[in-house]
A = this chain, B = another copy of it.
Amino acid sequence: MNKIEVIHTPALLPLYDLKGKVVVVIDILRATSTMCVAFNTGVNKILPVATPDECLMFKEFDFIIAAERNAVKVPGFDMGNSPFEYENPFLAGKNIAFTTTNGTKAIKMAKQMGPEKILIGSFLNISALCRKIKESNKDLVLLCSGWKDKYNLEDTLFAGAVIAHLGNDEFEMKDDAALSAYFLFEQHQDNLEALVRKSSHAERFTLLHLQTDDVKFCLQADICAVVPEMEGEFLVNHTPMASHN
């Protein structure tokens, strides 16, 4: 039986051992949702980068540069962090250097800890992701990116959705954080949007008067049959076998 642990925020990562485990990085609003859309559009590679300054340095190497801080696009960059921007067919075959407030930081922190595998999860690719997790057949860590190291609802909710999706034949919850994520999803699965609209991050979007409805978009299940996975410093698309059938 493989064990599932949930980490509510990257600030708690040092308490965990990731060796030999599959880690799924979760940043529902919006980095990991947006990454799924990008690969679905046909992006070649994504390079997660820590800061906007570091990201800018990849411009001369023919990367598209994308940077978001505090939910808005950083001035001077090609792109921000709204999934709608990444549906542009112009991006097919391109490489993107990407930095966001929470998601890319969580990916880079997890990489330092030497897990077996790092996958990118969102509602948009949940079924493909869960197939990949089952194929991998290892202990699983669901790492929520949170908001500036604090707990957030939408990432924990998705961790619960993955636990429910995997079922209990091959996986079991190891800790109270996993149980709480599962209970949150169980309680709100019939109305995810109502819950996420209550979250502090959705409120942040409302305050910013975002034109597009990123919240609604990011809660759609299975519109991208991709599984972004870390390979060296890059994210590439490793769609699991079953989806090629």
> Interface on A for B, CB 8 Å cutoff?
8-9, 11-12, 15, 147-153, 156, 175-177, 179-180, 183-184, 186-188, 198-201
The binding surface of chain A is classed by DSSP as helix
For A175, the chain B residues whose CB sits under 8 A away are: 150-151, 200
Question: Per a CB cutoff under 8 Å, which of B11, B12, B187 touches A183?
Answer: B187
For A151, the chain B residues whose CB sits under 8 A away are: 8, 12, 175-177, 180
Question: Per a CB cutoff under 8 Å, which of B153, B176, B183, B188 touches A176?
Answer: B153
B187 touches A150 (CB 8 A): no
Given A12-B150, A183-B188, 17 extra CB contacts under 8 A: A11-B11, A11-B15, A15-B149, A15-B150, A150-B175, A151-B177, A151-B180, A153-B179, A175-B200, A176-B199, A176-B200, A180-B184, A183-B184, A183-B187, A184-B184, A186-B187, A187-B187
The chain B residue sitting closest to A146, CB to CB, is: B176
B198 touches A180 (CB 8 A): no
How many copies the complex holds: the figure is: 2
| C-alpha gap A237/B12 in the complex (Å) | 34
For A187, the chain B residues whose CB sits under 8 A away are: 183, 186-187
The chain B residue sitting closest to A156, CB to CB, is: B180
| C-alpha gap A179/B147 in the complex (Å) | 15
For A153, the chain B residues whose CB sits under 8 A away are: 176, 179-180
For A12, the chain B residues whose CB sits under 8 A away are: 9, 11-12, 149-151
A198 touches B179 (CB 8 A): yes
The chain B residue sitting closest to A201, CB to CB, is: B176
The chain B residue sitting closest to A155, CB to CB, is: B176
| C-alpha gap A183/B186 in the complex (Å) | 11
| C-alpha gap A238/B232 in the complex (Å) | 58
For A200, the chain B residues whose CB sits under 8 A away are: 175-176
CB distance from A46 to the nearest CB of B (A): 27
CB distance from A183 to the nearest CB of B (A): 6
The chain B residue sitting closest to A188, CB to CB, is: B183
